Structure 1
Amino acid sequence: MPSLHRPRLLCAALGAAFGTLLATSGTSAFAQGSPAPVPADSSTETSTTLPVVRVTGKAPVKDGTALQREGDAKDGYKTKTVSSVGALGSVSLQDTPFAISVLPLQLLENLQAQSPDDLFKLTPSSRSATPQGTGWTPVVNIRGFDGSNTAEDGLRRIYNHAAVLEDKERVEVLSGLSGFLFGAATPGGMVNYVYKRPTTERLNSVTVGNYGGSQWFVHGDFGGMIDSEGQFGYRLNLVKQDGETSVDQQKINRSLVSGALDWHITDQLLLELNGVYNKYHTDGPSAYWFYDAPHGKAPDADKLWGQPWVQDEFENTKLMGKLSYKLNDQLTLRGAYMRDNIDRPIQDHAQNYVGDVAAGYEQIGIRSGRTKDRFDAAQAMADLNLDTGSVQHKLTLGYAMYQDKFYATTFNPNTGWMGPFPLDQPHHIAEPTFPEDTTKPIYAAKVRNSNWLIGDQVRFTEQWSALLGISHSSIVTSDYDEELGKVVKDYDKSRNSPSVSLIFKPMPWLTTYATYIEGLEQGGVAPAEATGNKDEVMPPMISKQKELGVKADVGGMLLTAALFDIEKANEYTNSDGFYVQDGRQRHRGIELGATGKATSDLTLFSGFTWLAPKVRGGDYDGLQPINVAKVLAKVYAEYQLRFIPGLSLNGGVFYTGKQWANETNTDRLPAYTTLDLGLRYTTTAANHPVTLNLYASNVTNKSYWQNSYYVGSPRNVAFSANVKF
């Protein structure tokens, strides 16, 4: 199977089943109503959304509309609910025995976030490891572990190339192992992208602006009820973006059409449908660097260190359906299915090599043939409420899976190594004449993860509860065998992954927990530099995590703390040229978070992580793993000026500690700090809410090593104007 940095994508998801009633006929729902002017003495940003009014109809209250009422700027972006914790579905954030950060819609909008990279810098233990602008497999580092674990509305997918945020209601980041909850995954964590659902009241929102450089865009967001009875609701997001990024000669051209439809078939039966078309084209993706010498000063971040003729393109068509049925107060059935087809007709890459900083860098330009992915994910769950004496149970049992079929060609010409060139300025060449690609993608590989699971949310008393779960997870992979001329199974492993949590609430606002969880992870693939066993697939790896946590809802703030200990098998290429699993990689640390209103005018979204990473056993016993920052410290803040109603100052300071850039711990990357600043002004025009937004990231234009492979993003100034009508 391909490695994380191979130009291929393993994409989206499959399934079917039943579940989740969101209320009964005749119940009341809250929705956004018609706009009203902001009072001159207003101290909250009421003009950024339509006012809330009570409406009564036949449509049941559902999680989608409930989520729309959480996490507004006026509430300090503090949320109460996690939309999906894998198999468990929707749960209370404060009562969940895991560390989870929720980035709600208004925070995404006010940051003018263009990609997940803009969000990972906010949550306590995450940071981007492979930025979206590189064209490689996107990777996030959580608690020091790299991974591309993603889900959409709780349905797993392996990768998330060309991710878009305009059609998302929120992004939920789980720190640490997720085995019982989401199936096989790397131990760092899980990122769940939650789609926008239809609104109960008519929504018309148009935003025009610039994501930075000359990336002009227009975004329309429309929603409402189709019929007067409130049985059918819709949501439609349309985006067009084009122009040069803050990196010189790098351009993005993309189009998005994303629609959602809810049908309340009965008061107990709900059907949710989604359809997405996303075309994403990049000229001049950022280059990948590798050094055989100490890294030294980072190259200028605002320059293109690849080639302007290097291109990357994705065309993504996705269909998803969810069905939920509440048979009675004891039994709920829920299920979902997603099919994601990705066509990647263009994929070029530039790789830079430095063996001697004084000599400069060498470069190779690679053009790969067309690839395609068919990604499926499915979930079928039953929730059963029952009592055994005074003890209450919510049993969840069912099946979840995800699968990717990958199609590729052998077309892979390159420029050969060019240079060396000086490191003070990138060297660009005219586009070479590559041979014409006459090949067609053939079925080349498959990966499938299947999970049978049972969980029990047990409530003993008002103060004491527990979460018990176990999943039987299997991983099956196949690869194309050139000698046989067909795809053959090369990997079939399975294991039971348990999870045990004990929860104590001494007071309603205070939750403490202790959690032990295990996870199954597919073994890595021997890279090209492993000359002894190149492309060999390693055995599955078992990860284990112990965590003690506390969550306190104090005033307008949600305060969290977690002590954790995670370990997994250590994989590396040894001195004999063999890729091996030898020893263990162990990360112990503390993670802190604070989200909400510190005062009536001051909002904080902040976090801190301290890690003690170590390798035990193998060639690197006692050393620290590469690309792991021991300290992450983040403070994002917003302050509303009382003397200018509607005006808010915002910004953040983000610190990343030192990292080792090689396994022998002889090349160390310096720590870096970036600064963001912004302004937001909310008002009304002709009785319509208007928001003007300006946000500048890395305002000092600092050039830094994000990790051993990538240069960080340069200064970027984004601005926009939004009107709701």
Structure 2
Amino acid sequence: MTDEKGVKAMPRSVAIIAILLASASPAWGQAANGNAAEPADSEAGNAQTGRADENAVRAANDAFGTSVGNEKIGLYGVGDVRGFNPATAGNIRVEGLSVTEHGGFTSRIASGSTIRVGLTAQGYAFPAPTGIADYALRNPGDEAVLSPVLYFGPNRTAAVDLDAQIPIAGSRLSMAAGIAYRYEENFPGEDSQTLQGGAVLRWRPADQVEFKSFYTRAAIMDDLDIGNIFSGGPWLPPQIERRYFGLDWTQTEVRRRFYGALGSVRLSDAWQIRAGLFRSENEVKLNPVELYRGVGRDGSAQRQLVVTKDQAAKSTSGDLRSSYSFGEGSRRHIIHLAARGRETRRAYGGGDVRDLGPATIGERSDLPQPAFDFGPLTRDDVRQITGGIGYELRWPQVAELSLGIQKTDYEKNVRIPGRPLLTTRDRPWLYNGTLALHLTGKLVAYAGYTRGLEDSATAPSDAVNRNSAPPALRTSQRDAGLRYAIRPGFNLVAGLFDVRKPYFNIDPDRVYRQLGTVRHRGIELSLAGQPAPGLSVIAGAVFLDADVSGEAVDFGIIGPKPVGTANRIVRANLDYRLPFFAPLSVDIGVVSQGKRIASALEYAELGGRQLTTRPLTTVDIGFRYRFQAGAAPVTLRAQVTNLFDVYGWNVSPNASFKFNETRRFLMTLAADI
């Protein structure tokens, strides 16, 4: 339903998705710190305490990326680490175990995530070149807690989470379950509805044994997105009002399902087994995308519509680890044996492309919905099996060493209607090594090298081979750095990194293909901890030098800088609990990013350089007020983002533009009953 201005009216009631549980079949997990031979999680240390006190700034140990509930801070996120995407690359973990998923994590089953790079990845037996995004499942304890959370803003956004932890048999068997509904309006008129449900069942039949099973579903409905804007020359799009200006009927519908089981068994003081088995399904029922091509300095453009339906990605994946440790004086040796596999099936293509004529970005121009004509789908499947052996040395206050070697067998089959079967195979050896030396009681130096086989992003909607995915790519990473303990609980990390992989993007004929090799070199800094009582600081910076090399650059087909990368990102978050009024804390966040590469081409008008966006700095402020409602702790959270309403453009790797968020007000009310 829409009002007279074309803005969607508030939604009607929707049916509740039933919450189902996978059975607690034998499966294995690991301690949250990622160290394979550590004891199973203790009951006290990992019991869920509700949601009223969620605070990402106070929970983070570094500035590389932490999420707690719906809060996210840090330099990196699940979709961006050192200029690459660990989710696309397949470097997602569930409590240290490898999983192939397609956007399946929700706050109903996951309490948060942590980005592991550099020294923070030490202790992972088999790291990945593009970094690791490690999710933690909700961990219910032996106390019954009901946690309602209400959200208001930005714009007309309104949402509710209802999460509970339910003890069934004391500390031995418990459940965390929840349901959430969200009506979201990021910009005026750009809105969607989301419904989620999920649960985690935790079973501890013995002190050294823990099983978890989980199930979650999500439905994204009536989702309107601002179209992709492409500049027609060496200029940025003109500044326009930040609101939805597209067609009311271009609504995306998505269904997701994610379930599995994991756990750990310590067979003896020296031997531990962990494993997980997972299933992830993502179905895009309908996905209309508006493209505004050749945008002029005055905002004029040619509008195109690309519509696809029944696009799907479904994966089954598993990870089995066996770790044996033994001591030698103060030294500890750990040997890991691992086997993991995945099978992914995708259906894509068959889109209907319509030219809608001239348009002006920022101005509404309604058209009737046509009858779409979809073509046959392309289907592909990927099967990959990997076996490996790893070794760790832990020598307290002296050194930590990690070595690993893996053999992987990869096969991809592509079935394009009317064409012969296309098969790609690769069976490389993968290896890694990291070393950390304790130079003094406060100073640690580290260095590492990792070689991997990672997936690449699918072709964007403006490519002629849209949604197609390249075969897995051989990648490598080198990094080194220092960690200095300024004081207990307050650390500085400084590092260098060099990541290399094949470069895929759209060529001048709009074909998504390999255009060369990309190399991301940079410096990253993290300052994290509590420098003073009541004050938590998470601050970081990354200075990136990204380059593309190969024939496409040599022949002038593209420029030497990959589109979408920024040469500088600085982020800082501070949380201060007032000493004279303990229930109240104030927080501030600052994000400053440098110029982003905004065109694949070099322009004579720009002195032979590629187009770039302007630097952008935004400031957020907020507060938390904690109080009691009877016996229940309650937290009121209010925040203003982009306080000074700074206007800027973000740019994607396919050179499409989208304006940044306006000044926004958000409020959250959370309780633990």
Query: Measured at CA, do residues 72 and 323 of structure 1 come closer, stay the same or move farther in structure 2, by a change above 3 Å?
Result: same
Alignment-derived partner of residue 317 in structure 1: 257
Alignment-derived partner of residue 525 in structure 2: 592
Secondary structure of the 1:306 match is coil
Alignment-derived partner of residue 34 in structure 1: none
Q: 1:328 offset after TM fit, Å?
A: 0.3
When structure 1 is superposed on structure 2, of 614-623 and 175-184 the one drifting more is 175-184
Alignment-derived partner of residue 214 in structure 1: 156
Alignment-derived partner of residue 660 in structure 1: 597
Q: 1:209 offset after TM fit, Å?
A: 2.3
Q: 1:384 offset after TM fit, Å?
A: 0.7
Q: 1:181 offset after TM fit, Å?
A: 6.1
Alignment-derived partner of residue 721 in structure 1: 669
Alignment-derived partner of residue 12 in structure 2: none
Q: 1:499 offset after TM fit, Å?
A: 0.7
- Does the aligned pair in 1 maintain the 2:125–2:336 contact within 8 Å? no
1:375 to 310, 315, 323: 315
User: What do the CA deviations read for 1:394-448 (whole angstroms, capped 9, x no partner)?
Assistant: 11111122332123573x33432321x234x3223144132487x9x97822123
Aligned equivalents of 1:530, 1:239: Cα separation in 2: 35
Alignment-derived partner of residue 234 in structure 1: 175
**Is residue 709 from structure 1 mapped to residue 651 from structure 2 by the alignment?**
no
Alignment-derived partner of residue 566 in structure 2: 629
Alignment-derived partner of residue 463 in structure 1: 398
Q: 1:573 offset after TM fit, Å?
A: 5.7
Aligned equivalents of 1:506, 1:176: Cα separation in 2: 17
Aligned equivalents of 1:274, 1:402: Cα separation in 2: 19
Q: 1:593 offset after TM fit, Å?
A: 1.0
Alignment-derived partner of residue 492 in structure 1: 425
**Is residue 432 from structure 1 mapped to residue 369 from structure 2 by the alignment?**
yes
Alignment-derived partner of residue 42 in structure 2: 61
2:114 to 159, 172, 177: 172
Alignment-derived partner of residue 257 in structure 1: 197
2:281 to 335, 341, 346: 341
1:547 to 469, 472, 479: 479
Letter of the structure 2 residue corresponding to residue 413 of structure 1? D
Alignment-derived partner of residue 562 in structure 1: 495
Q: 1:213 offset after TM fit, Å?
A: 1.6
**Is residue 695 from structure 1 mapped to residue 639 from structure 2 by the alignment?**
yes
User: What do the CA deviations read for 1:279-320 (whole angstroms, capped 9, x no partner)?
Assistant: 122431132222331242454463114322211122222221
Secondary structure of the 1:620 match is helix
Alignment of 1:109-124 (within 5 A): 113=71, 119=72, 122-124=73-75
Show structure 1 runs of 5+ residues with no match.
1-12, 24-58, 81-98, 114-118, 128-138
Secondary structure of the 2:298 match is helix
Letter of the structure 2 residue corresponding to residue 657 of structure 1? G
User: What do the CA deviations read for 1:523-573 (whole angstroms, capped 9, x no partner)?
Assistant: 677889888x99997665432222112234423323222111222234456
Aligned equivalents of 2:186, 2:82: Cα separation in 1: 29
1:103 to 57, 66, 72: 66
Q: 1:652 offset after TM fit, Å?
A: 0.9
Query: Measured at CA, do residues 580 and 155 of structure 1 come closer, stay the same or move farther in structure 2, by a change above 3 Å?
Result: same
Letter of the structure 2 residue corresponding to residue 406 of structure 1? R
Aligned equivalents of 1:720, 1:472: Cα separation in 2: 48
Alignment-derived partner of residue 9 in structure 2: none
Alignment TM-score, normalising by the size of structure 2? 0.83
Query: Measured at CA, do residues 405 and 209 of structure 1 come closer, stay the same or move farther in structure 2, by a change above 3 Å?
Result: same
RMSD (CA atoms)? 3.7
1:291 to 202, 207, 231: 231
- Does the aligned pair in 1 maintain the 2:292–2:302 contact within 8 Å? yes
- Does the aligned pair in 2 maintain the 1:180–1:498 contact within 8 Å? no
Alignment-derived partner of residue 3 in structure 2: none
User: What do the CA deviations read for 1:165-210 (whole angstroms, capped 9, x no partner)?
Assistant: 354212111347999969897x543323322121232222111221
Show structure 2 runs of 5+ residues with no match.
1-21, 33-39, 603-608
Aligned equivalents of 1:463, 1:328: Cα separation in 2: 27
Aligned equivalents of 1:662, 1:497: Cα separation in 2: 34
User: What do the CA deviations read for 1:234-271 (whole angstroms, capped 9, x no partner)?
Assistant: 111221122x5131212221111110111112333322
Aligned equivalents of 2:535, 2:288: Cα separation in 1: 46
- Does the aligned pair in 2 maintain the 1:675–1:699 contact within 8 Å? yes
Letter of the structure 1 residue corresponding to residue 137 of structure 2? Y
Query: Measured at CA, do residues 470 and 162 of structure 1 come closer, stay the same or move farther in structure 2, by a change above 3 Å?
Result: closer
Alignment-derived partner of residue 53 in structure 1: none
Aligned equivalents of 2:153, 2:390: Cα separation in 1: 43
Aligned equivalents of 2:103, 2:31: Cα separation in 1: 32
Q: 1:162 offset after TM fit, Å?
A: 7.3
Query: Measured at CA, do residues 583 and 237 of structure 1 come closer, stay the same or move farther in structure 2, by a change above 3 Å?
Result: same
2:305 to 365, 377, 380: 365
Letter of the structure 2 residue corresponding to residue 678 of structure 1? G
Q: Structure with the greater relative contact order (CA < 8 A, sep ≥ 6): 1 or 2?
A: 1
- Does the aligned pair in 1 maintain the 2:325–2:332 contact within 8 Å? yes
Aligned equivalents of 1:466, 1:605: Cα separation in 2: 28
Aligned equivalents of 1:392, 1:270: Cα separation in 2: 24
- Does the aligned pair in 2 maintain the 1:17–1:333 contact within 8 Å? no
When structure 1 is superposed on structure 2, of 256-265 and 543-552 the one drifting more is 543-552
Alignment TM-score, normalising by the size of structure 1? 0.77
